[in-house]
């Protein structure tokens, strides 16, 4: 996602740099393909006017703690509103909360970038007219992340539930009658299960942290976090 967002910013005429220090060959190849300029270390990236953090949810706070960001720091990761407030404090300076919904943006209509915080409009402006649809939610840090948590709570939460339900039927030796009943009364579920299996096999391990962030978001509002703690378990096993 980071390489794709960088490519969009390049297409908008901006210089886009990244830090290869400690990163894998796969990440280097994606950054090269996106035409991003490697400045080596995070300290060099930190001098930029705007810094985007787009990494696995469990790494968001560590990235912010690299600190000393000179300009606007945008956290675009799938983390809870409480976590993003920690990130903002760690990053220092001006910060913007972000949450991305959709696939890595390559054509219009696929991807929304929700933004919130006092500087959200300035960040949205960077994407004006591009394939990435940037939308300001509010001027409150935490609101953009809350949109992402609520959205992914449904998409990935129900995917995990469907995977667990079919496993249960298999374990009980009743998979065939369940599938026959799905075909009769819930015909969309076979296809949804296939999609959930494909996605979970490809990237389920990366969703464990995101499910834990969603559970924490529910619990912070006095709502049950158990759905998404269970979803984390389902994805941990993939």
Ligand X SMILES: NC(=O)c1ccc[n+]([C@@H]2O[C@H](COP(=O)([O-])OP(=O)(O)OC[C@H]3O[C@@H](n4cnc5c(N)ncnc54)[C@H](OP(=O)(O)O)[C@@H]3O)[C@@H](O)[C@H]2O)c1
Kindly list the residues in this chain that would bind ligand X in the complex (CB under 6 A). Answer: 1-2, 23-24, 26-27, 54-57, 59, 62-63, 77-78, 100, 103-104, 206, 210
Count of beta carbons in the 10 Å neighbourhood of residue 149: 26
Compare residues 78 and 144 and give the one whose CB is closer to ligand X. 78
Q: How far is the CB of 209 from ligand X (least distance, A)?
A: 8
List the structure tokens of 213. 């962030």
- For ligand X, give the closer residue by CB, 210 or 212: 210
- For the bound state, the minimum distance from the C-beta of residue 32 to ligand X, rounded and expressed in Å, comes to 12
Closest to ligand X by CB, 68 vs 186, is: 68
* Min CB(140)–ligand X separation in Å: 20
Distance CA 189, CA 69 (A): 47
What is the rounded CA–CA span in Å between residue 151 and residue 135? 15
Q: For residue 161, what is the DSSP state? A: H
- The CB-of-36 to ligand X minimum distance in angstroms stands at 11
Query: Is residue 93 packed enough to be buried (19+ CB in 10 Å), middle (13-18) or exposed (0-12)?
Result: middle
- Give 67 or 169: the residue with its C-beta nearer to ligand X: 67
Nearest by Cα to 155 from 96, 99, 117, 82: 99
């Amino acid at each position: 996602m980071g390489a794709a967002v960088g490519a969009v910013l390049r297409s908008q005429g901006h210089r886009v740099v990244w830090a290869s220090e400690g990163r894998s060959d796969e990440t280097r190849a994606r950054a090269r393909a996106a035409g991003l300029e490697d400045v080596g270390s995070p300290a060099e990236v930190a001098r930029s006017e705007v810094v985007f953090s787009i990494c696995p949810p469990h790494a968001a706070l560590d990235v912010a703690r690299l600190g000393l960001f000179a300009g606007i720091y945008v956290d675009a990761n799938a983390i809870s509103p409480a976590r993003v407030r920690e990130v903002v404090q760690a990053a220092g300076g001006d910060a913007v909360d972000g949450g991305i919904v959709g696939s890595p943006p390559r054509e219009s209509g696929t991807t929304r970038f929700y933004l919130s915080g006092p500087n959200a409009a300035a960040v949205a402006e960077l994407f004006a007219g591009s394939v990435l649809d940037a939308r300001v939610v509010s001027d409150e840090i935490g609101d953009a992340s809350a949109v992402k948590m609520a959205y992914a709570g449904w998409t990935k939460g129900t995917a995990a539930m469907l995977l667990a339900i079919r496993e249960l039927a298999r374990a009980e030796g009743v998979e065939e009658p369940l599938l026959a009943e799905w075909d009769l009364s819930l015909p969309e579920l076979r296809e949804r299960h296939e999609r959930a299996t494909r996605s979970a096999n490809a990237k389920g391990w990366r969703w464990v942290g995101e499910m834990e962030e969603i559970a924490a978001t529910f619990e912070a509002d006095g709502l049950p976090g158990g759905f998404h703690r269970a979803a984390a378990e389902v994805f941990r096993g993939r």
